[in-house]
Structure 1
Amino acid sequence: MQAQPLIAVSDVEASSRWYQTVLGARSAHGGKDYEQLMFGERLILQLHRWEAHGHAHMGDPEKRPYGNGVLLWFHTEDFDEAVERAASISAVVLDGPRENTNASHREIWLRDPDGYVVVIAGPYGDTGM
């Protein structure tokens, strides 16, 4: 089994560009209503426009914060490059980059264009700051 998170966003194409840059991902679908983002051959995130297709359980775009209590957490082997990519687009940094001694890795906490919290974590044992 593998998680394939889907988040509702206001602008699929803009969010796709943000996630592609920050995560080093690529588009596998593209479009104004729906996107699939891939890392290698693995689907890592789906983006869906709030108003598209009338899904009953998508949530309410008027109620914020989006994803209250949910973090989009990504593990990467290229943590330093991910931090550089986030900086290259002036991503909003909530915390870090810093060492998380409890998890024995480095991490950076970001806010995406729709307000979701995105965490990028380096590999276990990568504590070199």
Structure 2
Amino acid sequence: MQAQPLIAVRDVPAASRWYQQVLGCQSGHGGNDYEQLIHGGRMILQLHRWESHGHAHMGNPDVRPYGNGVLLWFYSEDFDDAVERAAAISATVLEGPKENTNASHREIWLRDLDGYVVVIAGPYGDMGM
């Protein structure tokens, strides 16, 4: 089994570009209503336009913050590169990069274009900054 989270966004192409830049992934579908983001040949995230296709359980785009209580957490072997990519697009940094001694890795907490919290964590044991 593998998680394939789907988040609702205002602008699928803009969100796709943001995630591709920060996560170093590629478009696997493309389009204005729906996108699949691919890394290492696997889908890691789906993006869906709020108003598209009328899914009953998508949520209400007028109620903020989106994803309250949900963190989009990504493990990355290239943590330093991910931090540089986030800085290159002036991504909003909520925390870090920092060492998380409880998890024995480094992490950076970001906010995406729609307000979702995105965490990128380095490999276990990667505590050298």
Q: Could you say whether these structures have the same fold, taking a TM-score greater than 0.5 normalized by the shorter chain as the test? A: yes
Q: Describe the superposition over 1:2-33 as per-residue Cα deviations: whole angstroms up to 9, x where unpaired.
A: 00000000000000000000000000000000
Aligned residues: CA RMSD: 0.3
Q: Describe the superposition over 1:29-76 as per-residue Cα deviations: whole angstroms up to 9, x where unpaired.
A: 000000000001110000000000000000000000000000000000
Q: Distance in 2 between the 1:42 and 1:125 partners?
A: 25
Runs (4 or more) in structure 1 with deviation over 6 Å come to none
Q: What's the TM-score once normalised by structure 2's chain length?
A: 1.00
**What is the number of equivalent residue pairs in this alignment?**
129
> What amino acid is aligned across from residue 87 of structure 1 in structure 2?
A
In the alignment, which residue of structure 2 is the partner of 1:75? 75
In the alignment, which residue of structure 2 is the partner of 1:123? 123
The alignment-based identity, stated in percent, is 81
In the alignment, which residue of structure 1 is the partner of 2:46? 46
Structure 2 unaligned runs (5+)?
none
> What amino acid is aligned across from residue 73 of structure 1 in structure 2?
W
Structure 1 unaligned runs (5+)?
none
